[in-house]
Amino acid sequence: MTRAQTVLAFDFGLKRIGIACGDTLTRSAAPRPAASYGAAGPDWESIAREVRALAPGVLVVGAPYNADGGDGTLSAAVRRFASELERRFALPVELVDERFSSLEANEALRTRRASGQLRRRVQRADIDSAAAAVILGRWFAGEGK
CATH topology for 6-140 is Nucleotidyltransferase; domain 5 (3.30.420)
Read off the pLDDT of residues 97-130 as tens digits, 9 standing for 90 and up: 887 677 777 677 677 666 666 666 667 767 788 8
- The pLDDT tens digits of the residues spanning 26-40 come to 998 999 999 999 999
- Whether 1 shows a pLDDT value over 70: the answer reads no
The continuous run of DSSP H or E covering 33 comes out as strand 29-38
Q: Give the separation between CA 61 and CA 73, rounded to whole angstroms.
A: 15
Report domain extents, the chain: 6-140
> Do strands 16-23 and 58-63 pair parallel, antiparallel, or not at all (unpaired)?
unpaired
The one-letter code for the residue type at 77 is A
The 10 Å CB-count burial string (b at 16+, else e) for 45-58 is ebbeebbeebebee
pLDDT in tens, 43-95: 999 999 999 999 999 999 998 876 777 777 888 999 999 999 999 999 999 99
pTM to 2 decimals? Answer: 0.84
